[in-house]
Chains A and B, each alone.
Chain A
Amino acid sequence: EADIYQTPRYLVIGTGKKITLECSQTMGHDKMYWYQQDPGMELHLIHYSYGVNSTEKGDLSSESTVSRIRTEHFPLTLESARPSHTSQYLCASSEFENPESGSPLHFGNGTRLTVT
């Protein structure tokens, strides 16, 4: 089982609050990702990072920010939570890979966020 941890597992918060979802991995992986997953839908990439001080936006990034100050840590921050942010947030990591052969993503168990 992969060593990637997300906290909290569940979070219920009111509209307008600032929240930070934590993600840490102990595998020394350079690449890290944040995905959003709604029931019955495909995962959507929010942010990703190739390494320390490297962050890039994905498809759904406009209302959140990330930082990568340490290799093992990749927190996601919502400055002002809204009900539309209610979702499952999955963090993942992978080794740098041969683009042809690929390298598997190692996922955390997610944070289930509910914004009331």
Chain B
Amino acid sequence: KNQVEQSPQSLIILEGKNCTLQCNYTVSPFSNLRWYKQDTGRGPVSLTIMTFSENTKSNGRYTATLDADTKQSSLHITASQLSDSASYICVVSDRGSTLGRLYFGRGTQLTVWP
């Protein structure tokens, strides 16, 4: 069964600290992996998309890594800010159909305290 599991479920850190969010997946065949940020009451916003051949991609203070062999991804946030408080969702696309199917994780709820 294709699944996407994220950990931790929730995380609290102090402003300025770094943190790493984890995503494990069983989706096969793999096409690409995406990270989204969802602020409370808003729709998700894309942070990164990585294909099989990419093992790291950055977007400002956000750096995503991908290990396609172990089917794991991480999202590292550097020098956290209050505005980083949000849910971070890992999404994996398969190559089972021409246009791919998306499998969503349940998200990690990050809270940044001053």
Nearest B residue (CB) for A59 = B101
Name the segment of B12-20, B65-73, B78-86, B92-100 touching the other chain.
B92-100
A107 vs B91: C-alpha distance in the bound complex, in angstroms? 14
A42 vs B105: C-alpha distance in the bound complex, in angstroms? 5
A107 vs B43: C-alpha distance in the bound complex, in angstroms? 5
In the assembled complex, B114 has its CB within 8 A of some CB on chain A? no
| A109-B93 in contact (CB<8A) | no
| A42-B106 in contact (CB<8A) | yes
B-side interface residues toward A, CB under 8 Å? 4, 9, 31-32, 34, 36, 41-46, 49, 51-52, 89, 93, 95, 98-100, 102, 104-107, 109
| B43-A101 in contact (CB<8A) | no
A-side interface residues toward B, CB under 8 Å? 2, 4, 31, 40-43, 45, 50, 90, 92, 97, 99-110
| A102-B93 in contact (CB<8A) | yes
| A102-B49 in contact (CB<8A) | yes
Known A41-B106, A42-B106, A50-B99; contact A102-B43, beta-carbon cutoff 8 A: no
- Of A31, A100, A108, which is within 8 A of B32 by CB? A100
| B106-A102 in contact (CB<8A) | no
Nearest B residue (CB) for A110 = B43
- Of B34, B99, B100, B104, which is within 8 A of A104 by CB? B34
A92 vs B102: C-alpha distance in the bound complex, in angstroms? 13
**What's the least CB distance linking B58 to chain A, in Å?**
16
